[in-house]
Structure 1
Amino acid sequence: MGTDIGTNSTKTILVSPEGEVLGTGNAGYEVEQPEPAWAQQWPDVWVEATYDSIQQAIDDAEVDPSDIRGISISSLYGGAGVPIDADGEAVYPCLIWMDRRATDQVEWVKEHVDLDRLFEITGNYVDSYFGYTKIRWIKEHEPDVWEDIENFVPPNNYVEYVMTDELAVDYSSAGNVGGVFDIHDLEWSEEACEMLEIPVEKFPERLVPSEEIVGEVTAD
């Protein structure tokens, strides 16, 4: 089974071991845009849509859920990622890829960060598209929220966390945060985070290749 969490909908497909499509599902939703150039979504919307689309695919295929061997989840570029507290609860909406509020943070990075070195480590320069500028926006504009944030988690990894109670980030999603992931050593970059004044501890410890099994779906 494969599920893709998109900007406006979540899609699920169920296939046989031979690649035959057995069933599909789709659940739509809206992007919150409370201010011009803002774009955000609460992660519970993605969780509900994931469960909904999965159930649709199962019903469409007329299969026993216990026969499903595994599920892989991909997602939209989640910008800053889902800010969660120590209990794993979201404390602020996810500022997604199309959010452009972090213009002042872009200028700060241009003035204070060695952009060539940042690119050398992460493969990224500076633009409000990238999650690290949005993370700095939260740090500067929502200090009370910032204090409660334990981790920033990409959308697909957050849904996996809800489904398995295992917190892990795949390399691809880590790189998509932009500016904080070392593409050579495949780990969060302490040097880049120090330059950006973002604590590296704000990112989940467990990093995995995309093909690694994160965990098993819980009874809940």
Structure 2
Amino acid sequence: MYYIGIDLGTSAVKLLLMEESGKICNIVSKEYPLYFPHPGWSEQNPSDWFEKSMEGMKELTAGIDRSQVAGIGFGGQMHGLVTLDKEDQVIRPAILWNDGRTGEETDYLNQVVGKDKLSAYTANIAFAGFTAPKILWMKKNEPDNFAKIVKIMLPKDYLAYRLSGSFCTDVSDASGMLLLDVKNRCWSEEMIRICGITREQLPKLYESWEVVGTLKPELAAELGFSPEVKIVAGAGDNAAAAVGTGTVGDGQCNISLGTSGTIFISSKEFGVDQNNALHSFCHADGSYHLMGCMLSAASCNKWWSEEILGTKDYGAEQAPIKELGENHVYFLPYLMGERSPHNNPDARGVFFGMTMDTTRADMTQAVLEGVAFGLRDSLEVARSLGIQIERTKICGGGAKSPLWKKMIANIMNLKVDVLEVEEGPSLGGAMLAAVGCGAYPDVETIGKKLTKIVDTVEPEPALVEKYEARYQKFRELYPTMKPLF
């Protein structure tokens, strides 16, 4: 049997076809537009997601016996607000995770409702990208649209709804809405009241591997699939990527160097750090995870290389970088504001320490190191909770750079395990579909069976020591700059 994983990303949908054995048969990507109607706003049309996913599934399964497709699972960009009216029409473009318009609403939640209450209700505090502040923004700024809302859902759940008719979400993705009681894996009645919505407007909650329905007959006919194809709830992109990298069970770590950057630590136990600097979310394996999320990671390098240097040859830009731990230039990677651990949408990117002998390579090196230092900030919060991490898996586009992996290993003093296959959320979605269809007993089993480590980047004690001194200086830059932001 075959399983499809759909990773609904910010710039494209990536679809993956997997056999029951874990063999990847095909991968297809389909891009769609991203809209910035005002500075700091970020929106997409949900219909684009559905159309490109349908196109992608046709292309993905060309040349196979389509009757053998058993299940479809998802990984999806988190936090986005999708609203439907009584006719099931999208009311307004989806407001995305990297949208910064909700400063007032975020402040209201954190300062007026209060961080202590939010943490008690949801295990998290408000961040500008979360869904609840978006709902409050819509209520205040678009009251006519707000009054039309019948269904509130997350991006990947819109796909599940269009494919199956099931109004659903999973607990890992719902954890990023600021509407879920994470510890008890249920909606928070207090947050529903604060946002001025009703329980009926929110989807039914599932675990990530659970079947939410079957493919609509007319879509099955269009795709050439059986109408018995199971639609599985799926997971938020980071939890899905963690499944795809085998970061399941207790005390596992994964670092993702994608558009955004994350450090993801799985845990059997529910836990919250004192300052809510890390997100405390449900995991797709039925347990929990802590996550630090940087809004700009590999996107910093993309911006620097393509917009500033005018090149897409990242390897050529990194080739001259030989001396690590001695760069005198620093970069604060806050091009879109920052989430973990600063929670400051006004933070901005900064180069610091340039002199007349600073080279292009020094600046490139500073960008890569700045992202690694930013991830280390979140790791330090986890360490403050007594969590001991000695090694991490790594995924995302940035993980293709040997230099960046070496920096991560030495700046964070972690062994960095490189996987044979690294396909992130799309693979995780397919694996969740396989569990939902009964091919594997649980997520932990498939996660450990289908992931294979082929290389480990070891930290070097002398370099760790050099980077420790650089990191301590990096730590001083943000609080010094903060009043200027």
CA distance in 2, matches of 1:197, 1:163: 29
CA distance in 1, matches of 2:15, 2:110: 40
Match of 1:35 among 35, 38, 57: 38
- How far did residue 167 of structure 1 move? 1.1
Task: Specify whether residues 111 and 15 from structure 1 end up closer, same or farther in structure 2 by C-alpha distance, changes over 3 A only.
Answer: closer
Structure 2 alignment gaps of length 5 or more: 219-485
Partner of 1:192: 191
RMSD, aligned CA: 1.4
Partner of 1:87: 87
Residues 166-192 of structure 1: per-residue CA shift (max 9 Å, x gap): 111111121121x21111221110112
CA contact (8 A) 1:109 1:196 kept: no
Partner of 1:166: 166
Partner of 1:135: 135
Partner of 2:53: 50
Task: Specify whether residues 31 and 137 from structure 1 end up closer, same or farther in structure 2 by C-alpha distance, changes over 3 A only.
Answer: same
Task: Specify whether residues 43 and 4 from structure 1 end up closer, same or farther in structure 2 by C-alpha distance, changes over 3 A only.
Answer: same
Structure 1 alignment gaps of length 5 or more: none
CA contact (8 A) 2:110 2:118 kept: no
Residues 55-92 of structure 1: per-residue CA shift (max 9 Å, x gap): 12112xx112211011101111143x210112322111
CA distance in 1, matches of 2:208, 2:149: 25
Residues 102-141 of structure 1: per-residue CA shift (max 9 Å, x gap): 1121222234203112112212212211111111111101
Aligned length: 215
Secondary structure of the 1:70 match is strand
- How far did residue 202 of structure 1 move? 2.8
CA distance in 2, matches of 1:111, 1:199: 24
Partner of 1:150: 150
Partner of 1:207: 205
Q: Is the counterpart of residue 11 in structure 1 residue 10 in structure 2?
A: no
Amino acid at match of 2:68: D
Partner of 2:216: 218
| Mapping 1:99-110, distance limit 5 Å | 99-110=99-110
TM-score by length of 1: 0.92
TM-score by length of 2: 0.43
CA contact (8 A) 2:149 2:201 kept: yes
CA contact (8 A) 1:113 1:196 kept: no
CA contact (8 A) 1:24 1:56 kept: no
CA distance in 1, matches of 2:44, 2:30: 15
CA distance in 2, matches of 1:197, 1:113: 14
- How far did residue 37 of structure 1 move? 0.2
CA distance in 1, matches of 2:114, 2:79: 25
CA distance in 2, matches of 1:165, 1:110: 36
CA contact (8 A) 2:123 2:183 kept: no
Q: Which moved more, 1:187-196 or 1:133-142?
A: 187-196
Secondary structure of the 1:114 match is helix
CA contact (8 A) 1:83 1:149 kept: yes
Highest CA radius of gyration, 1 or 2? Answer: 2
Secondary structure of the 1:214 match is strand
- How far did residue 198 of structure 1 move? 4.1
CA contact (8 A) 1:8 1:29 kept: yes
CA distance in 2, matches of 1:58, 1:11: 13
